[in-house]
Amino acid sequence: MKTTSDQPAIRRAEMQDAAAVKSCIDRAYAPVKSKIDDLPDVSAGVEEDIASNVVFVAETGAGIAGCAILGLASGSAHLSNVAVDPAFKGLGLGKALIGTAETHARNNGAREIHLAT
């Protein structure tokens, strides 16, 4: 469901969101990629993540503004990516996405969460 207000809606990504999620991740990492030549393809595997992990998106009336990718396994969680489109920087989307991921992990039995950096 898309939001029409200024506040983004956070929801689980669906497969039809894959291209928009990839684009958001690429925009979020563009400043870093321009400084680090050997940065791996940070948006690779989005389709697999949507299919087998938990991917949350922050959606505004303009589209997907951020995402968080969470894996769950036997009592622990792994937050493998959090990305916010630079056009939405400073609005608290990253914090909201991480909070949503933490709550989901806790509600699904995770006792610890690890963050990829």
Per-residue pLDDT of the chain (117 residues; tens, 9 = 90+): 344 456 789 999 999 999 999 999 999 999 988 898 888 888 999 999 999 999 999 999 889 999 999 999 988 999 999 999 999 999 999 999 999 999 999 999 999 999 887
The predicted pLDDT at position 39 comes to 85
Give the containing element (helix H, strand E) for 19.
helix 18-33
The predicted pLDDT at position 80 comes to 94
The predicted pLDDT at position 61 comes to 87
Task: State the virtual CA torsion across 103, 107, 111, 117 in degrees, nearest 10.
Answer: -40
| Residue-range domains of the chain with CATH | 9-115 (3.40.630.30)
Read off the pTM. 0.90
Helix, strand, coil shares of the chain, percent, nearest 5, are 40, 30, 30
